[in-house]
Chain A
Amino acid sequence: MSHLLALIVVLPLAGFLLNGLAGNRLGKAFVSTVGCGLPILAFAVAVKCLVDLQAAGGAPRIEVAYTWAAIGDSLFEIAFYFDALTAVMVLIVTGVGSLIHIYSIGYMKADSSYARYYAYLNLFLFFMLLLVLGRSMLVLFVGWEGVGLASYLLIGFWFEDPDKARAGKKAFITNRIGDAGFLLGMFLVYQALGTLDMDRINAAFMGTSPPAVSASLLGILLFIGASGKSAQIPLYVWLPDAMAGPTPVSALIHAATMVTGGVYLVARLSGVYMHAPEASAVIAAVGVFTALFAATIAVAQNDIKKVLAYSTISQLGFMFVALGVGAYGVAIFHVYTHAFFKACLFLGAGSVIHALGGEQDIRKMGGLARRIPVTFATFAVATAAIAGIPPLAGFFSKDEILWYAFASSHGGSPLLFAVAATTALLTAFYMFRLLWLTFFGRSRMTPEVEHHVHESPLSMTGVLVVLAVLSAIGGFLSIPHYLAPMLPLPEVAHELEYFETPLVVMSVVVAFAGLAAAAFVYGDAGARAEALRRRFPGLYRVLCGKYFVDEAYDALIARPLYWISDRVFLRIGDRQLFDGTLHGLAALGRRTAGGLSRVQNGSLHLYALFVLLGIIASLAWGWRHG
C-alpha cells in the first residue's frame, strides 16, 4: 500500500522542520524554495490522488499510518481517508495555500523573521491537511488543535506588540472553548460506537439500527466545536482580532481554509446531522443569525481587514445555513468559491496595505484604482463575486444556498430565506462600500503615504490575478453535483420547484441592489454617508462598537472568573481557609507548648503536687472501674 496521503501531510511538515530548524542559517532563497515548493508538491500529489480516486470510481482510499494507541478493545489509529469531499478540501487547501505561500514571498520579504514565518505557514498546512485527511476524529482533532496553534502563532507573529500577542491568545482560548464541546462530542460518539472513524460513524447512523445515542446532542456538541473554529455566534469574537496577523495569513487561515474547518466537520459527519433535525435547525438558525449579525457590523467598520473579517464570519454563516438545511454539498461549494474570492480580497487588501506602507483605515484611502490597477481589478472581480453578481463564482454558490434555505425539506423556510437574502443585500452593500472607499473618490491619504504608493511585485499580483480568474470562473464547476454521491442534496418539495427561477432572479436583484445602494451612499465623497450617520447616531455607535460583545464577554465571563479566582479561591480559600487552618493549628501547638513550659515553673512543690494528683487520678480510675 502506498503512502501518498501520508506524503501529502508530511511534505509541509518537512517544510516546517527545515525552515524552523535551519531556515535562519540557510537564507531566504532556501526558505522560499522549501516553503513554497513543498506545498506545491503536496498539491501535485493531491491531484494525483484525485486522479486515482476518479479511476477507482470514487471508492475512498484509506491509509493507516500507525497505531497511536491500543487500549483493551479500543484502537486509536492514525489513518487517512480520501474521498471526493476530502479531495475538494485538500485541493483547496494545497492550491490556495500554495498561492498564498507564493504571494508571501513578496509580502514578507522585508521581515526579519522570514524563516519563522514560512515555518509557521508550513506547519499550518501540515495540520490543516491532517484535519481534512484524517479518517478518525482523533486525527481530525489533532489537526483541529494544530491549526489553532498555527493560527495562534501567526496572529501573534509580531509578538512585540502586546495587542497582537493578545489577539493570538484570544483566538486560541475561544477555539479551546469550542474544542471542549468537540471533545465531549467525540467522547459521546466513542462511548456509543466504540470508534472515532468518521466513515464508520456515518455508516452507523445511516445503518438500519441507529445507535443508542441522541444524534442531536452529538450534533450540537460537535457544532459547538465547529462554531469555535468557524467563528459563529457566540464564539466568533476571535476572528476580527485575528486580523492582527500578516495579511496573507488572514487570507489563508482566517478566510480560505482554517475557518472552514467547522463546515468541513459538519459536512464530513453529514450522516449524523441527517438524523439530527434539531441540531440542524440550531445550525441553520445560528448560521443565518451570524451571517446577518456580522454583515451589519461590517457595514460600519473602517479597517479594511476588519470589514473582510466580518464578511468572512457572515459568509461562514451562509455556509452553516446550507449545512443546517442539509445541503452539505452546497456548503462545500461555498467553501470552495469563498476560498477563491475571499483569498483574493484579503490578498488584494494586503497589496493595498503593502502599497500604503501599512495603512489599513479605509477612511485614509481612496482613489487608488489608478495607482495600483492590477490590485484594483482583481479586487473588483472578487468583490463582485462575493456580492453574487452573475456569472461570477459567488453567485452560483450563494444562489444555491438561498434556494435551499427556502426550499429544503430538511428545515428550509421562507423566514430563513428572507434573513439570508437580507444578508446578501447587506453583503453586496458593504463590499461595494469597501471597494468605493478604497479605490474611488478622491484620495484621503497623507502626502508621505501617497508618495510611496506603488504596485506590488509580480509574485503578489500574479497570485491575485490567478485568484481573480478562479473567482470569476470557479462557479462553473458544480461541486454539489460532484459530491452528490456521498453528500446527496436535500429533497425539495414538489410544489416549491416553481419558485426556483424567481428566486434566482431575486438574488441577482439583491446583489445589484446592494451595489446600487453603496454607489448611492458613498458615491458623493461620503456626504450621504455622513448624513446617515448623523441621522442614526445610536445605531452607528452600536455597529461601530460591534454590538459591544467583547465588552459584554469581558464583564460577564472574564472579570467574574478572575474575581472569583483571586478573591474567593486565592484569598478566602487558600490563604484564609486552608492556610489559615494550618497556621491556626500551628499557633495552637505553639501556644500549648508555651503553656506547658509555664507549667514547668521550676517549683518542686508543684512537681510534687503533680505526683500526688497523678496518683489520685490513677487510683480513681482503677476505683471507678473496680
Chain B
Amino acid sequence: MNWVDSAIAMLPEHFLLAGIVLLVALQSAAPARKEGAFLVSLAAVVAAAAVAAWLSLSGFAFAAFTDHYSVGPAALLAKAIVLALAVPVLLISRDEAGERAYSVLLLSSLYGVCLLLSADSFLTLFLGLELMSLPVYALVLVDYRRPRSAEGALKYLVLGGTATATLLMGASLLYGSGGSLALSAFGAALSSSDAMASAAVVLVVVAFYLKAAIVPFHAWAPDAYEAAPVPVTAYMATIIKAGVLLAAVRLFGSAPIAPPIADVLAILPLLSIVWGNLAAMRQQSFRRMIAYSSIAHAGYLFYAFLGDGDGRFQAVAFYVVAYGIMNLLAFASLPRAEDDIARDRLDSLKGLFHRKPFAAVMIAIAMLSLAGIPPFPGFVAKFLIFRNVFAAGYTVYAVLGLVGSYLGIYFYLRVIQYMFMSTEEPEVKQRSTGGLTLGATFLCLVLTVAIAVFPGWVIDHL
C-alpha cells in the first residue's frame, strides 16, 4: 500500500508532470496546435489544484519519502492555494501560451513550487527552489517583445544563482553544525546559540529574502518584473512569492524566534516595507510599481514570522491568497494594447474609467486592497499579520510596520487617480479583452467579494 499512498501524496505533482510530458509529446507531434497546449496546461493545473484541495480537506497526510518529502493537510492546502492562483495566470496568458515552451515552463515551475511545499530536507528544498526558478528565468523573455527583457532575465538569473549559492552555504553550515540536512535542523538552529548555526540560519534566511525580494536583496525584482510579459510578472508577483513564503513557513515550522534572528526578521522586512512603498511612489511603469509593491508586501509577509509559530501558516496563507488574488485581478484587468511598453506605462491608464469602466473599477479594487484599505481582503490579511506580531510582543516593530504600510497608500491611490480623475485621453491602441481574461477577472472578483464578506470562514479553514 505504501507506493499507492506515495502516488497519492504526489498526485498534484503527478498531474503537473503528466501535463509536462503531454505537452512535450504534443509539441513534437503537432507543433502547430496551440489551443491544445493551452488546454492541456489548464487541465493539468486545475486537476492538480483540485486534487490538492480535496486531499487537504480529507486530512491526508503521508511521508512519501522519509526525511525528504511528506505531505499533510497544510502542505496540500498550500499547494492548492498556489495551484489555484495559477489558474487565473494561465487564463490571462493566452497570447503568451502561443509560445511553445511557455506552458511547459509554467508547469515545471509550478512543479517546483509543489516540491518546495512538501520538502522535508534541504535537498528537496533546493531542487524545488531551482525547479521553480529556472523556468522563470526563461519565462521572463519567452514572449520577447522587448530587447530589454534579456537584461532583466540575466539580472534575475545572476541574483537567483547567488540566492542558490547562499542557500547552499547556509544549508552546508547547518549540516556542519547539526549533522543533518533535514529542514527540522533549521528550526533547531533558530533557537541555538551556536555561532555557526546562527550564521547558517542567517544565510538561509537571506536566500529566502533574495527569492522573495526583501531589501536589500530586492534589486532584481523591479528590473525583472518590468522585463517580463504581463502574465509572467503576475506569476512572479503572486505564485513565486507565495511559494517562497509558504516554503519559509514550512522551513520555520513553529519554532520560536529569539532576538538576534528576530531582529533580522523584523528590520529587513520593515526596511522593505518602507523602501518598497517609497520607491513605488514615482514609478511610471505599472509592472515596476507592482514590483516595488511586491517588495513591500514581502515585508509584511515576513513580518508574519515574528508572530507565534502556530499562527504563521494561517497568516501567510491568508495573506498570500488575498495578495495574490488582488495582483491577479489587477493584471487581468489591465487593458491589452498592441504595444507592450505603452501598455505598461501608468500614463496609459489615464482616463481609463471613461474607456473601460469595468476594468478601471477592478483595478481600483485591486489597488485599494493592496493598500490595505477595508473592506477589501488586503485589510483583513494585513490585520491578521499585525495582530500576530502584536500578540508576540513586538509592539514597536508592529507599529513601525503599520506606519510603513501607510507610506504605500499614496501610490496605489495614484493609480486610481489616473484612472478616474484624469481627463486626459492617452493615445493607446487597445485590443479587446478576451473572454478568458474576463473569466480570470470574474474569478478574482468573486473570490475578492467572498473573502471580503466572509473572512472568518476563510480564516477558519486555513
B413 in the interface (beta carbon within 8 A): no
State how many angstroms separate the Cβ of A123 from the closest Cβ of chain B: 48
Stretch at the interface among B90-98, B122-130, B155-163, B349-357: B155-163
B260:A619 contact, CB within 8 angstroms: no
Choice from B155, B199, B217, B407 contacting A614 with Cβ under 8 Å: B217
Choice from A596, A613, A618 contacting B275 with Cβ under 8 Å: A596
Choice from B193, B216, B223 contacting A602 with Cβ under 8 Å: B223
Measured between beta carbons, the chain A residues less than 8 angstroms from B279 are 593, 596-597, 600
Stretch at the interface among A486-494, A503-511, A604-612: A604-612
B199:A590 contact, CB within 8 angstroms: no
Binary per-residue interface labels of chain B (303-328) against chain A in the complex, 1 for a CB within 8 Å, 0 otherwise: 00000000000000000000000000
Bound Cα distance from A597 to B166, whole angstroms: 26
A594 in the interface (beta carbon within 8 A): yes
A592 in the interface (beta carbon within 8 A): yes
Bound Cα distance from A594 to B281, whole angstroms: 9
B202 in the interface (beta carbon within 8 A): yes
A622:B158 contact, CB within 8 angstroms: no
B5 in the interface (beta carbon within 8 A): no
B162:A592 contact, CB within 8 angstroms: no
Q: A604-B154, A618-B206 are in contact. Are A610 and B261 (CB under 8 A)?
A: no
State how many angstroms separate the Cβ of B326 from the closest Cβ of chain A: 22
Measured between beta carbons, the chain B residues less than 8 angstroms from A618 are 202, 205-206, 264, 268
Measured between beta carbons, the chain A residues less than 8 angstroms from B201 are 622
Measured between beta carbons, the chain B residues less than 8 angstroms from A621 are 260, 263-264, 267
The number of chain A residues touching the other chain, given as a range, is: 20 to 34
B198 in the interface (beta carbon within 8 A): yes
Choice from B216, B264, B282 contacting A610 with Cβ under 8 Å: B216
State how many angstroms separate the Cβ of B81 from the closest Cβ of chain A: 29
Q: A589-B407, A604-B155, A611-B210 are in contact. Are A625 and B278 (CB under 8 A)?
A: no
Binary per-residue interface labels of chain B (214-255) against chain A in the complex, 1 for a CB within 8 Å, 0 otherwise: 011101101100000000000000000000000000000000
Measured between beta carbons, the chain A residues less than 8 angstroms from B216 are 610-611, 613-614
A447 in the interface (beta carbon within 8 A): no
Choice from B155, B202, B215 contacting A615 with Cβ under 8 Å: B202
Q: A593-B278, A621-B264, A625-B259 are in contact. Are A615 and B158 (CB under 8 A)?
A: no
B412 in the interface (beta carbon within 8 A): no
State how many angstroms separate the Cβ of A537 from the closest Cβ of chain B: 69
B209 in the interface (beta carbon within 8 A): yes
B282:A622 contact, CB within 8 angstroms: no
Within 8 A of A (CB), among B119-163: 154-155, 158-159, 162
Bound Cα distance from A592 to B261, whole angstroms: 28
Bound Cα distance from A608 to B410, whole angstroms: 30
Q: A600-B222, A604-B155 are in contact. Are A614 and B206 (CB under 8 A)?
A: yes
B396 in the interface (beta carbon within 8 A): no
Choice from A594, A610, A611, A626 contacting B193 with Cβ under 8 Å: A626
Q: Which of A611, A618, A621, A624 is packed against the most chain B CB atoms within 10 Å?
A: A618
B278:A615 contact, CB within 8 angstroms: no
Measured between beta carbons, the chain B residues less than 8 angstroms from A594 are 282
State how many angstroms separate the Cβ of A186 from the closest Cβ of chain B: 46
Bound Cα distance from A611 to B220, whole angstroms: 10
A536 in the interface (beta carbon within 8 A): no
A606:B282 contact, CB within 8 angstroms: no
Measured between beta carbons, the chain A residues less than 8 angstroms from B259 are 625
B162:A608 contact, CB within 8 angstroms: yes
Choice from B154, B158, B193, B281 contacting A589 with Cβ under 8 Å: B281
State how many angstroms separate the Cβ of B276 from the closest Cβ of chain A: 9
Choice from A589, A597, A606, A624 contacting B260 with Cβ under 8 Å: A624
B203 in the interface (beta carbon within 8 A): yes
State how many angstroms separate the Cβ of B268 from the closest Cβ of chain A: 7
A623:B282 contact, CB within 8 angstroms: no
Please, which residue of chain A has its CB at the minimum distance from the CB of B154?
A604
Q: Which of A608, A613, A626 is packed against the most chain B CB atoms within 10 Å?
A: A626
Bound Cα distance from A602 to B259, whole angstroms: 35
A611:B217 contact, CB within 8 angstroms: yes
Measured between beta carbons, the chain A residues less than 8 angstroms from B198 are 622-623, 626
Within 8 A of A (CB), among B256-282: 259-261, 263-264, 267-268, 275, 278-282
B219:A622 contact, CB within 8 angstroms: no
A614:B158 contact, CB within 8 angstroms: no
Measured between beta carbons, the chain A residues less than 8 angstroms from B209 are 614
B222:A614 contact, CB within 8 angstroms: no
B195:A626 contact, CB within 8 angstroms: yes
Bound Cα distance from A626 to B258, whole angstroms: 11
B263:A607 contact, CB within 8 angstroms: no
B219:A607 contact, CB within 8 angstroms: yes
Choice from A597, A607, A613, A623 contacting B159 with Cβ under 8 Å: A607
Q: A589-B278, A615-B166 are in contact. Are A622 and B260 (CB under 8 A)?
A: yes
Binary per-residue interface labels of chain B (187-210) against chain A in the complex, 1 for a CB within 8 Å, 0 otherwise: 000000101001101110110011
A611:B162 contact, CB within 8 angstroms: yes
Please, which residue of chain B has its CB at the minimum distance from the CB of A607?
B219
Measured between beta carbons, the chain A residues less than 8 angstroms from B193 are 626
Measured between beta carbons, the chain B residues less than 8 angstroms from A626 are 193, 195, 198, 260
Bound Cα distance from A612 to B275, whole angstroms: 18
- CB-defined A-B contacts under 8 Å, sample of 17: A593-B282, A594-B282, A596-B278, A596-B279, A600-B222, A600-B223, A604-B154, A604-B158, A610-B219, A615-B166, A615-B203, A618-B206, A619-B199, A619-B203, A621-B264, A623-B198, A626-B260
A-binding residues in B (CB < 8 A)? 154-155, 158-159, 162, 166, 193, 195, 198-199, 201-203, 205-206, 209-210, 215-217, 219-220, 222-223, 259-261, 263-264, 267-268, 275, 278-283, 407, 410
Instruction: Other than A619-B203, A621-B267, A623-B198, give 15 A-B pairs with Cβ distance below 8 A.
Output: A589-B410, A593-B281, A597-B282, A600-B219, A604-B154, A607-B219, A608-B162, A611-B166, A611-B206, A613-B216, A614-B215, A615-B202, A621-B260, A622-B260, A622-B261
B-binding residues in A (CB < 8 A)? 589-590, 592-594, 596-597, 600, 602, 604, 606-608, 610-611, 613-615, 618-619, 621-626
